[in-house]
Amino acid sequence: MLLQEGEPSSGARNMAVDEWLLGQAIGQSWLALRFYRWSEPTLSVGYFQERSAVPLPASLEHLPRVRRLSGGGAILHDRELTYSLALPATHPLGSTPVELYRLMHRAMIMGLAEQGIETRMREAEQAELNGAFLCFLRGDRHDVILGKHKILGSAQRRRKGAILQHGSLILQASRLAPEVPGIEELTGRAVETTHLMNFVVAHLQPLAQDWQPLDRSLPDYQREISRLEVHYC
């Protein structure tokens, strides 16, 4: 199943759709790939972080907050392209979830290279960075970096053997966190996101054989998303 969201959505709705996709991977054995944006700067905190206990920098205190299904540190979602990938437990990659990081990140690296933007996997932990508040100031071996800066990071949640992986590609720095540069600041190039999404879909074709667009006009889909969305507001 393929979802390419036309309009940016709120943090609550974005997280509700991701949770619904994980539910479909569990109940219907769906494999789904989704690309989406955020309608306003939003802070997401990891699943195991207490929202009220997260010490926020003053510049971020006013932002709407949501709790992600995945763990890790806080992420400021602003000028980025976000993806999610839901994989059923029956899929061959279900037993090797680390391969999902490599597969998706390699696709992004190659898609960006087609646009003259050279990135690479970090490949080594940088534990000394992992106390930073914002996830994009931390260092994990699966990160995609441009020079020394992290521009793509991903996280996973496993439920009943199914996997939800989602991640953020920083296109431009947010005015709320200028210490986290995006691709445009680092290269002077604006990413052609439609071209990048199409490249990634084609590269991941072996996962699904055939990506079928989801009909989001179905009443059950809209009803379920609205039901889940309430829990993120």
Domains and CATH numbers, the chain: 2-232 (3.30.930.10)
pTM of the model: 0.91
pLDDT for 61 equals 84
pLDDT for 128 equals 45
pLDDT for 50 equals 63
**pLDDT tens column, 215-233:** 878 878 999 999 999 988 7
Among all residues, which ones are annotated catalytic? 135
**Can you list the residues of the chain whose pLDDT is less than 50?**
127-128
pLDDT for 127 equals 47
* Side-chain half-sphere exposure of 207, counting CA atoms within 13 A: 24
Residues ≥6 apart with Cβ < 8 Å to 146: 117, 118, 119, 183, 186, 187
What's the CA gap between 189 and 36, in Å, rounded?
Answer: 21
pLDDT for 233 equals 78
